[in-house]
């Protein structure tokens, strides 16, 4: 893929996430209906965007305060580690290709 293809794909992904409105702390969940495991995975995937948007909108959080506890945490950390770990792996792979 060309660099422009990556840019377009990233922009489409960012717009889709922003439009979905599923950011942590956005009054989607309550104490009687907390976020669970799969919400934790989603919130972990969008954590970098949540952090940036949270700077400008005070109701958006990095982490959902109304959650099920351990299961939410587990999903959140799996997504964060898989996302950032995957980025590191792809960088190492590209560096090895350039060296050869």
Per-residue model confidence as pLDDT tens digits over 39-96: 999 889 888 888 888 888 888 888 898 999 999 999 999 998 887 656 555 666 555 6
Can you give the pLDDT at residue 57?
Answer: 82
Q: At what angle do helices 47-56 and 70-99 cross, to 10 degrees?
A: 110
pTM beyond 0.85, yes or no: no
Residues 62 and 24: beta-carbon distance below 8 Å: yes
Can you give the pLDDT at residue 99?
Answer: 62
User: Domain total for the chain?
Assistant: 1
Q: Using one digit for the tens of pLDDT, what is the confidence trace for 80-100?
A: 888 765 655 566 655 566 665
Q: Burial code of 77-93, b = ≥16 C-beta within 10 A, e = fewer?
A: eebbeeeeeeeeeeeee
Q: Which residue range is the domain that position 26 belongs to?
A: 3-99
Which stretches does DSSP call E strand in the chain? Answer: none
């Amino acid at each position: 893929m060309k660099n422009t293809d990556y840019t377009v794909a990233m922009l489409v992904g960012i717009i889709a996430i922003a439009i979905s409105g599923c950011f942590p702390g956005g009054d989607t969940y309550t104490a009687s209906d907390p976020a669970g495991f799969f919400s934790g995975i989603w919130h972990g995937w969008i954590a970098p965007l949540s952090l940036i948007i949270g700077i400008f909108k005070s109701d958006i959080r990095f982490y959902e305060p109304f959650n099920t506890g351990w299961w939410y945490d587990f999903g959140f950390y799996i997504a964060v580690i898989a996302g950032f770990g995957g980025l590191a792996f792809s960088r190492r792979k590209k560096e090895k290709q350039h060296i050869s």
